[in-house]
Structure 1
Amino acid sequence: MSQRVGKRTWTGVIGVLSALTWGCGDGEFQIKVAKPAAERPDVRVAGIELSSVSLPDPTPFNVTPFASHESGACSARCSATDQGAGAASVDAAGGGFGWAEFHVGYAFDQLSDHPVSAVIEVAVECAQSVEATAGEPNNIAKATLQFLVRDSNGVTLHRETLAAASSETGNRRWSASEASAVDVVLPPGVGYFVTVAGRAEASAGGTRKSVATVEVKSCRMKVVCRKADEAAAAPPAARP
């Protein structure tokens, strides 16, 4: 079960909000988030106990990878911090192409002897912009921001697009406060990664120029775990 609350403010040229499919397919990011089990905090829930963590205060985010790629006349920049800020921007011209990504999130191991039900809340202050000359082949700018829950076996438990924009539907500048919550059952003996991930991508055809940016100005998360209903029980999985 998930719940979405959002408050948006638009500036500049407004385009249609649309989901994006990147070159890597199905909205996937190039960064494959990973963290050794020895570096993931342990969660253990017994009986009617609750386990709760709030980020980034008092607990800093422990997943903050970022990466970029440039080809030709292109500049790609990205960053992420353990206090919940992240940014990605790409500026392409004259046949150039590039992408930039970041993740801000939390990784932990579920080491109870039973499944737990986790309520995960996320709230972000974010901004995006896409700009490209219309009508020029291969001249496009895209930006997306997603809320992801994955396990250490590579299984995606939740994927939600918080924001997305493409110059194909018009140049656009946008800022927003977005909030969402999801309730997921977490089998024991597995690591979990809860992240907000941003990606910017731009390509410039001919002599044209395209620019894409996505920024998380602040991110807050809360993860509350309790023993799951018996009906949700599942055999423990191997811990990578």
Structure 2
Amino acid sequence: MLPRPSRLTLPSIARWARLNGSSSRAASGGVTLLPTQEPTPEANATLTEEEFSSMIIHGRSIYPPLYHPRTHSVPVAQLQFRAYQHQFLDLYMHFVGHAAAALGIPISRPVYLPTQRSLWTVPRGPFVHKKSQENFERKVHKRAIKAWDADPEVVDRWVRYITRHAMPGVGLRVTQWKRAPLGIGQQMVDSAVGQTRLGSGAVKVKALAEKIVQQELLVEENADTATR
């Protein structure tokens, strides 16, 4: 993989391509030409790293993705990948990293999980060739990525995008954590009270109980007077 150039060159080239793209395409027959002279530092002041990551620049995918720094370290999602061919897995991880960088999602670098290894021994043939056996091996390569400090809607869009463009032969499992709003405890209590009918019906239940007690006391008094 080619090394990523310095920040002094790429933002200036991106800004130049964005501002002068139409004239360059018209002059070169649809091909965008890059500047040949060294850009000045003043041209880099108006283009941030986030803006550069969100721009469409052909050929940028050959470089490593940008990893945005975490702000509050609040986990929002964890992605686990597995495949039999680690080449496909590394390529898909590269694509997922660029997608997260374009959306501004802080993610971790790919974490290499332990490789699952399975072995089988199968006889080459029955009867007289039973002692001749053949061994087979299967390896499942695993990777993991964790995302922090992103809006749930942005994370959902990121997951839908990488799922839509999933690479054949690579499995994906997504685990998302969503934060409940403030006052969720009181809402749960109110919901439980409404389900058990202890809200407005509590007064009616109490009045009915008092009425039953009064009727029982009245029956006992009548029984006592009758025996006397």
TM-score range, shorter chain: under 0.3
Q: Which has the larger radius of gyration?
A: 2
TM-score between both structures, scaled by the size of structure 1: 0.23
Q: Answer 1 or 2: higher relative contact order, Cα 8 Å, separation at least 6.
A: 1
| Structure with a larger share of its residues in helix | 2
